[in-house]
Amino acid sequence: MVQQRLGLAHASVATSTRNRMHFDITTAMMVTSLLTFCVGASLAFASSRYPPALRSAMRVWIGGLFLQTLPLFAVAVLGTSPGAGAIIVLNTVYALAYAEMGRALHLFTGQRHHGSLSMLLVGAVALISILFTYAWPQPGWRVALTEIPIAALQFMVARSILRQPRALRPADYLTGGLFLACTVIAVSRGIVEFLGPTLIAPDLRVAMASIVFVFSAILPTIGTIGFMLMCSDHLSDDLSRLAMIDPLTGVYNRRTLVGLAEKAIGDAQRDGTSFSLLAIDVDHFKSINDDYGHDTGDEALCGVVTLMRDALRADHVLSRIGGEEFAILLPGSGEAEACLTAERVRRHVANSPLSINGYTLGLRVSIGVATFGAAVPDLSSLLRAADRALYAAKRAGRDRTMVMSRFACAPECVSPLDPQKG
Ligand SMILES: Nc1nc2c(ncn2[C@@H]2O[C@H](COP(=O)(O)OP(=O)(O)OP(=O)(O)O)[C@@H](O)[C@H]2O)c(=O)[nH]1
């Protein structure tokens, strides 16, 4: 396989007739296979520090990488004519390496893996190799036809990288582009071999063989560097996401809310629009912990988040800004609309008892509303205004919404505590 796939026979012809390729192929193969092996071993060592989801994709990739070293090593040891049986085995191993790399990429991107199609293509490589070695010994046809399933396997790898659901990064373009280039080269080589020496000039065949050799030698290493960069991007995305999110409830944390509120202020100033902020605190939450335990308290906080989400629109931004304190950013909402939203949230929480660890918990929330505008012209005054309204709601008896009106210097009550209205 390697002899044919890498065009080694042609490369050596070129060396002897035209003096174009000045390298010792077996040494080059030995160096490449050792380099590939070392890259795989380093990746195996590094992978133990990655999170489990990434680690499983890395392990499959490493398997593919080690498989790729075998044909390279075989040529280094057995020479450029490893024999018919070895060609069939090495062809199949080479195809299997790409199938494994494709599986790794599908695990990495979370896309559906067409495992049976990959195995079918690997089987096709084996079958073609056997047929054109024993039944009908035609090396040219063997090379031309094995390139088709190999190109398909390489294309599947490139496709899974370049059609990921997330935005593509330079590492994705590098790795996907490399596999795409290999696909094009495999197809071109198949065509050149299919047309044969009578139609294709010897120079072109030699050039093609050289390109195949160079790409086959660099693909494992460069492809693996690209894959590792993709893993690093994935990891840094995860870390950025974690830095934005409250680990208990999964909603944004205070830092993210502040960033989004600053952006909302910029938008409101530029477009002349308005937005509001709700400050929310769960009433008497300490008694939940005291009566039912901290674990039940944690689940109650998650339950309250779910209830609040149910009462919000998709563009409303819910965040946890303290222990049992939350805030909701309402883009485009003026004071009246913000009060309606706050009341919808409060009533939904009050009317939806939570069932946790065998207990039924009827939680209540108090809400303070503040709207960005002339009287509340920056973020700190907005947060302060929402807080003042919230604590006014607490002082007035809890389970209610208070608003810091633009027209009043004291908080106004939106909903006096009235269970009948809930
Ligand atoms: N289970 C759990 N409890 C928390 C968490 N963060 C804060 N708390 C608890 O929330 C309670 C807040 O108590 P307080 O500030 O006295 O307020 P409260 O009991 O809700 O009373 P009011 O706010 O005045 O209605 C404390 O007992 C904290 O321990 C958390 O992440 N999990």
Ordered domains of the chain (ranges, CATH): 2-244 (1.20.1070), 252-413 (3.30.70.270)
| Residue with CA at minimum distance from ligand 1 atom 1 | 297
Closest CA to 367 of 288, 300, 308: 308
**Counts of helices then strands in the chain (DSSP H, E):** 14, 9
Token pair for residue 57? 């994709």
Maximum Cα–Cα distance across the chain: 98
Distance 204 CA to ligand 1 centre (A): 77
Tell me the Ramachandran region of residue 250: left when phi exceeds 0, alpha when psi lies from -120 to 50, beta otherwise.
left
- Is 313's C-beta closer than 6 angstroms to any atom of ligand 1? no
Counting ligand 1 atoms within 8 A of each CB, the residue from 280, 286, 287, 326 with the most, and so the one to mutate, is 286
Counting ligand 1 atoms within 8 A of each CB, the residue from 246, 254, 285, 359 with the most, and so the one to mutate, is 285
- Is 368's C-beta closer than 6 angstroms to any atom of ligand 1? no
- Rounded Cα–Cα distance for residues 172 and 163 (Å): 10
Closest CA to 248 of 350, 325, 355: 325
Q: Where does 245-357 have alpha helices with state H?
A: 254-271, 285-292, 294-310, 335-350
| Residue with CA at minimum distance from ligand 1 atom 6 | 323
Counting ligand 1 atoms within 8 A of each CB, the residue from 251, 295, 299, 324 with the most, and so the one to mutate, is 324
- Rounded Cα–Cα distance for residues 124 and 92 (Å): 9
- Is 285's C-beta closer than 6 angstroms to any atom of ligand 1? yes
What is the DSSP pairing of strand 401-404 with strand 365-371? parallel
Closest CA to 366 of 267, 242, 279: 279
Distance 288 CA to ligand 1 centre (A): 8
pLDDT for position 208: 83
Which residues 6+ apart lie within 8 Å of 113 measured at CB? 102, 103, 106, 107
ipTM, 2 dp = 0.97
Distance 287 CA to ligand 1 centre (A): 8
Cα angle 52, 238, 296 (rounded to 5 degrees) comes to: 80
C-beta separation of 368 from 328 below 8 A: no
- Rounded Cα–Cα distance for residues 181 and 214 (Å): 12
pLDDT for position 416: 54
Distance 26 CA to ligand 1 centre (A): 71
The series of mean pLDDT values per 10 residues for the chain, 422 residues long, is: 43 45 72 90 88 91 93 82 84 94 92 89 95 86 91 94 90 94 92 81 81 83 93 90 94 96 92 92 96 96 98 96 96 93 96 95 96 87 93 93 72 57 40
C-beta separation of 319 from 257 below 8 A: yes
Kindly give the number of the ligand 1 atom that is closest to the alpha carbon of 398: 25
| Residue with CA at minimum distance from ligand 1 atom 5 | 323
Closest CA to 308 of 333, 335, 281, 285: 281
Q: Where does 358-416 have alpha helices with state H?
A: 379-395
- Is 394's C-beta closer than 6 angstroms to any atom of ligand 1? yes
- Rounded Cα–Cα distance for residues 179 and 156 (Å): 9
- Rounded Cα–Cα distance for residues 346 and 99 (Å): 54
- Is 294's C-beta closer than 6 angstroms to any atom of ligand 1? yes
Token pair for residue 205? 């065949």
Distance 366 CA to ligand 1 centre (A): 13
Kindly give the number of the ligand 1 atom that is closest to the alpha carbon of 322: 6
The 8-class DSSP code of residue 165 comes to S
Distance 245 CA to ligand 1 centre (A): 20
